[in-house]
Amino acid sequence: MDELVFLGNGSAFNYQAYNTAAYLIAGEDLILFDCGEGICNRLIKRGVLENARNIYVFITHLHSDHIGSLEALIYYNEKFLHKGFFIFYPRTARLKRLLQLTGVDFPFEIYPVPKALAGYEIGCVPQNHIPGSYGYFFYGSFSFFYSGDTCTVNARAVARLKSGKIDRVYHEATCSSSPIHTHIDKLKAAFPPALRDRVCLMHFDTPAFAEQCRAEGFAVAEVTE
């Protein structure tokens, strides 16, 4: 089974980990989820961009730990890679304006989320975080839900994991009192122990919290250099 490859598993202020972002190789194409601070350089260092025919970037929301190096990645593609490069986000005009304000001075587009791409059927759902936050369902040879940042667990994602319609849920988690993130107690309530090895948690505040999630039976987003 394909799995997402994590470039980082940290939250915005986790100085011991890279920002949470992950990619999937779909045939000849690269599908990236978010592009936070330092993630463009992580991608270049890994050498995964050169091998891709098209680069598809799905953005969950506009916090800097999720888009902090998106402008750098657009430039890198424009100057060095010249790949098919597509950024997907439901509020297209908002993200386009933001990138224009950062100084992107060549023509580019932000695309609405497609219904199907690179062998996957795709569903986009609003998430409860800041305005303009989204999670993504992908159905294909490997089917999954990617939560982005949210303070609630999507009921459809739980039901589809239970029924086997999706193979995995990638979900953010926190142990803090933040009202805009999903407390580990909510995740424990949503996912019984028998399901937890198929729930991969991410966006950790500290490495110690990642270990706590593992001790509760959840899978943990693993990052390798």
The Cα 198–Cα 217 span in angstroms is 10
Matching residue, tokens 């999954």: 144
CB 130 to Zn ion: min, Å: 6
Which range touches Zn ion (CB under 5 A), out of 24-32, 77-85, 145-153, 183-191?
145-153
Q: Is 221 helix (H, G, I), strand (E, B) or coil?
A: coil
Residue 63 in the binding site for Zn ion (CB under 5 A): yes
HSE (side-chain half, CA atoms, 13 Å) at 43: 32
* Among residues 34, 65, 167, 205, the one that binds Zn ion under rule CB under 5 A: 65
Contact between 205 and Zn ion (CB under 5 A)? no
29 versus 34: smaller Cβ distance to Zn ion:
34
The CB-of-128 to Zn ion minimum distance in angstroms stands at: 11
Instruction: Enumerate residues 6+ apart whose C-beta is below 8 A from 210.
Output: 9, 201, 204, 220
Q: Can you tell me which residue has the tokens 């994991």? A: 161
Q: Tokens representing 59?
A: 């953005």
Q: How far is it between the farthest Cα atoms of the chain?
A: 51
**Closer by beta carbon to Zn ion, 63 or else 168:** 63
- Site mask, Zn ion, residues 101-140, x = CB under 5 A? ----------------------------------------
Stretch that binds Zn ion, among 21-29, 148-156, 157-165, 194-202 (CB under 5 A): 148-156
Stretch that binds Zn ion, among 47-55, 57-65, 86-94, 194-202 (CB under 5 A): 57-65
> How far is residue 190's CA from residue 187's CA, in Å, rounded to a whole number?
5
CB distance 169 to 144 below 8 Å: yes
181 binds Zn ion (CB under 5 A): no
Task: Return d(Cα 122, Cα 103) in angstroms, integer.
Answer: 31
8 versus 26: smaller Cβ distance to Zn ion: 8
The reply on whether position 34 binds Zn ion by CB under 5 A is no
149 binds Zn ion (CB under 5 A): yes
Residue type for position 78: E
| Residue closer to Zn ion, measured from CB, 141 or 178 | 178
Residues found near Zn ion in the complex (CB under 5 A) = 63, 65, 149
